[in-house]
Each structure stands twice: as structure tokens, then as C-alpha cells.
Structure 1
Amino acid sequence: MDSNTPLLRVTAFSAAALLVLTACGDNGDDDTDVDEGNGADVETDETEDDAEAGDDAEAGDDGDAEAGEGDGEELTVALFGEEPYSWLDEESGEPTGATIAVAEEIFGERMGYDLNIVEEPEWGNLIPGLAAGQWDVVSAGMSINEERCAEAAFGEPELVYTTAFLVEEGNSEGLETFEDLEGSDLDVIALSGAVESGWMDEMDIDHDTVDNAQDGIDFVEGGAADVFALTAASLEAMAGDIDGLEVTESFEHELSVGAHTFRLEDEEMVEEFNENLDELMDSGEYLDLVSEFGFSEDQMPPSGLTAQELCEEDPEELADEYLED
């Protein structure tokens, strides 16, 4: 792509602006250590009987006082501003989205952590920030693939994604899949570090990248780009009602499945998270949580699919096995 195109001039401006925003939104040391004086761990002068009575009252009628691993410790969770997965509500400023609902249920309600949810404005910073200890978990529906598995650990599969294009209303080029972009002179963009960009790299499709989803939408709306490739659910949620724009029919390029993301060394946390996730999936409570954000049974992962398979096995073979219908 010509470096003098309007897109790249806008991209350069956006990158500079995002650098300023990132600096302003820096979590600093983002030290998530909990004060050692946490009241849950402090012995009191209560008699043993009083303490047991208090435990029973907190546990409920069955007197089961078993707590989650968190036990009131703070857990910092990073979100990325992309509907319908995770974002900050414009009016309240509160975190919301399908993955946030799951994080609040599992980490907060079931594992006993106090959640500190922060926004990372650049997709490409999510895993590096995780490795650097800026946050403990990423709740952004990140797709599991071999490259990412070398840098982070993933919980078990949660949501299956399809892809779509954001184009000018009418879709004059008749775009349906990535194959339609091969050899074209269209200005195409994707999210930096996203699977769509990786797929286009593999197919030698010329494209540029942006750091956040809203920039991609703005570039197409403003005429600086012809096509923005992203998950269909995100484009429908964020741009489906914009006059003059159109979200194409969704398609499956490869098996793309999102999950919560952890540091490689946090094996025990991943294990406990997966146990709770499995309970939610089996009971149907998981679908209840995410359906409020537009997800349905169609987006649930295929039975038997594991994060390990997505990390280690050939994507085309997995697609043949699990997307045969």
C-alpha cells in the first residue's frame, strides 16, 4: 500500500494519539499485591464457637465454608474496548460485555477474588501487559492459536467466532471471503495482532492495521479505507446501524475460538477457572450470561474441543473435524 495514502496518514495520527492515551491510561506499577493485613486472614478474639457460628452463617444452611482460591485477594483483569465482548459503558463507565459477565461470575462470585477491571486501548498490548504483570487475566474473548499459546495460557474454549467485512453500503465489490481480497487494489485494514490480520498475512493480502476496533470503523466511515475485517459479532454490535455502511454476511475462514487468557505460570488459576467454566457450561448458566450480549447456542464451542488442540494442532485439520457441517 502506498505510504502516502490518506489511510496511512490517518493511521500515523491515530497511532500518535493512542500513544498519548496509553501513556495517560498507564496503570503505573499496577501492583496487585493485597495488603497482608486483609481482615479475612487476621485472627480475632472471638471464641471458637463464635467463629464457627460466623463461618456457618456466611456459608449458608449447609455450613460449607469452603472458599475459592481468591479469598478476597485482588485480581486485575484487562478488557479491550470491543463490543460485545468487553468494553466500558459510555454512560456509567463500568465494565460490561459477555466475557466480563463470565469473569465476574467465575473470578468474583465463585473463586472469591476482588476484581480490579482495567481497559487496555491497544489490542497488541494485551499479552505483553499480561507477561509484564500489569494484569493477571485478559478478558477480551481472545482467539486461541499456536502463536499466542507460546506467550500465554488459555482457559478452555468459550465462544466460536466468524468473520465479516465492514464496507460501504451496497458492497459494490461483492466481497464475501478473504479470497475476494486476493489481488485487489482495495485499501484493507484489520486489527493489529488479530487473527484476521494473521490470515491475510498468510494469504499475502496487502493490508494495514489499526490498534483498536473503533479506528477501523472510523476509517471505513471516513473513506480512508475500503474494508475492515473483524469478527462478525463485533462489527454488527459496533457498526451495524451506521448509515452508509454495511456488514457483510459472516463466514468461517478457520476455526476461531475465544477464551480467557492467563500468564503461562498461573497453572493452578487456569485449572480452577476451567473447573468453574465447565460447571457453567454443563448447567446452561454460561449461555444465560452471554446471551444478554447477543450470543446464542450457535456460538458455543463444539463438544470435545480443547484449548490444547487449538494450541497444538493444525488449524485446517481442526476446521475439517469440527466445522464439517
Structure 2
Amino acid sequence: MNTNTPAALRLGALGAAALLALTACGNDAGDDTTAESNGAAENGAAADGAEAVTIAIAGEDPYSYLDENGEPTGATVAVAQEIFGERMGYAVDITEEPTWGNLIPGLGAGHWNVVSAGMSITPDRCAEAAFGEPELVYTTAFLVEDGNPHNVHNFDDLSEANINVVAMSGAVEAGWMDDLGIEYSTVDTPDDGIDFVEGGRADVFALTAISLQSMAGDMDGVEVTDSFAHEISVGAHAFRLEDEDLVAEFNEHLAELQDSGEYLDLVSEFGFTEDEMPPSGLTAQELCEEDPAELTEQYLED
């Protein structure tokens, strides 16, 4: 991925008035901005009259990233473009925020209306953002030196090994290692973590398995361990807490896509399969409010 590509990609033609509206989004300067009937508060208007929704993506293949031409792509981008653009009629304005730890703070600050990055729903994040219904189930893997010389395959192995470990700042892997008392350092992007292991500055980079396979699976000198499920981890689109109507309308279209099989068609292009679809009956509310260990036992260990 070319991390030097400009961060903002305009998919909807935004006029000067829209830029002003988006800048004011979520701050005290937006007192005279009213919510539209479709639930998209303070989004601004595109030059063609369509209301604009601003979506932040991360630089993590295969969820959301910029391709070699600087165009936004990935599984969650495809879903966002289908729902917000095709089905809800928005002009979609996509901005890359490559530092994972900035995605939720930027949402709360009103820099964007939605985060489309395959972000796992956790109780801590639910205190700062509203989540759409579950979309993709994730497992974890480690990027290690070829041959896995330290023989690490899960977090228990890391607890027993005296090695250098890195994780993305704000990622669920970092939270799990905090809970387990595992020492680690943080990086801002997946590319940074891969560079640390490839360059010998770290022994392990912990990340979602499908990301590591997609981004580093063919690299010389390193390998991706077999995936494992430490705890239930389910990704979804994230919204500002106040945008309840927008979340509700998004969820209606998401359910239509999932029920028809079109959702899987959209994300399968990026390597996702039926195995990554969420368990039947699992809701965002459960993931926000209930004990992750109990949910893991209920949905992953049946």
C-alpha cells in the first residue's frame, strides 16, 4: 500500500458549502445545522444536490485501504458504497485515516460521520461510538520470522516468551494483551507492524489473520501463523453516538444485503467467506453490553 497517497479521496463532488458544513460537523459552530429526515445530521450537501456522508477508512487490507492508484477499496468500502451511495442516495466522501487510534476520536470530534474499517465492537468503543449490526467475524494471527523460531501460536505462548511484540495502537489485540499482562509496543499502522518484524525490530506482530495473510502472506523472510480465536471479535461500521436514525436506516439495508446473500458477494472479492459471517442472532447490543467471555462461549464454542 502506498502510504504517501493523499488521505482524502472525493467520491462525491462537494461544493464549498459542503466543506464548511463538514468542518463544523459535531462542534459548537454547527448550531444552525438541522438533521435531515433520513437521519444524517450535519452531513453537508454535494454540488449535485445529494447529501454527503463522510466516511473514514483505515489502511488495512482487505478491509479498507487505498489501492496502487490511490483509490479507496476493500470489503468494508464496497459495503459502504453500496449502502450509503447506491441504496441511501448519499454522495460518498471517503477519507483515509491511516493511524488506527485516531478513527474513533475523529468520529467523536465530527471529522467524519462513519468509520468503515472492519472495527470490532467492544464495550469500551461502544461508550464512544454507535455501531451497526455485526458484519464480519475475525480471528487473530501472528507475523513472525520464517520458521516461527520462538514457537508462538497464541497469546498464552506470548505470556511465556521473552520476545519483542508489537500491536496496533487501539486495536483489540492490544487490549487483549493488556488484560493478559503481556508486554508489547504499539505501532500506528499495519504496514509499520509488518516493517518491524521484517526488519528484525520485533519478533511478533499481532493482527487479524486475514489482514496478515493479505498484506504479508507472500513476503520473504516472514510467515503468518495459523489463526486462532482468543475472544469473539466481530467488526461493523461505527457511527457518531447521536446519529441513531442513520444507524437504523443503515441496519435496514445491511439486513437486506445479508439476507439476500448480496453481502457475501460484495466481500468475497476481498477474500472473505461464509466462515467470516457473524453467528445467527448475535447483535451489536450484546457485543456492547455483555461479557465477551460469555459471548465467546455462547457463539464460538457451541
The TM-score with structure 2 as length reference comes to 0.86
Instruction: Tell me if structure 2 keeps the 8 A contact 1:164–1:235.
Output: yes
In 1, Cα distance between equivalents of 2:298 and 2:135: 18
Amino acid at match of 1:205: I
Task: Identify the match of residue 88 of structure 1 among 59, 62, 66.
Answer: 66
1:182 counterpart SS class: helix
**Is 2:292 the partner of 1:315?**
yes
Per-residue deviation at 1:183?
3.5
Task: Identify the match of residue 200 of structure 1 among 166, 177, 184.
Answer: 177
1:254 counterpart SS class: coil
Task: Identify the match of residue 77 of structure 1 among 48, 52, 55.
Answer: 55
- Note the alpha carbon deviations across 1:204-261, whole angstroms, 9 max, x for none: 0010000100000000000000000000000000000000101000000000000000
Instruction: Tell me if structure 2 keeps the 8 A contact 1:85–1:140.
Output: yes
Any residues of structure 2 matched to 1:30-45 within 5 Å, and which? 30-31=22-23, 33-35=43-45, 40=49
- The structure with the larger Rg is 1
In 2, Cα distance between equivalents of 1:309 and 1:165: 28
Aligned-pair identity (%)? 68
- Note the alpha carbon deviations across 1:269-310, whole angstroms, 9 max, x for none: 000000000000000000000000000000000000000000
Q: Which residue of 1 aligns with 2:193?
A: 216
Amino acid at match of 1:212: T
Per-residue deviation at 1:39?
5.9
The RMSD of aligned alpha carbons is: 2.0
Question: Structure 2: where are the runs of 5+ without partners?
Answer: 10-18, 26-42
In 1, Cα distance between equivalents of 2:44 and 2:204: 46
**Is 2:281 the partner of 1:281?**
no
Per-residue deviation at 1:174?
1.6
**Is 2:249 the partner of 1:272?**
yes
1:281 counterpart SS class: helix
In 2, Cα distance between equivalents of 1:316 and 1:170: 32
Q: Which residue of 2 aligns with 1:305?
A: 282
In 2, Cα distance between equivalents of 1:182 and 1:34: 49
**Is 2:99 the partner of 1:122?**
yes
The TM-score with structure 1 as length reference comes to 0.80
Per-residue deviation at 1:34?
2.9
1:253 counterpart SS class: coil
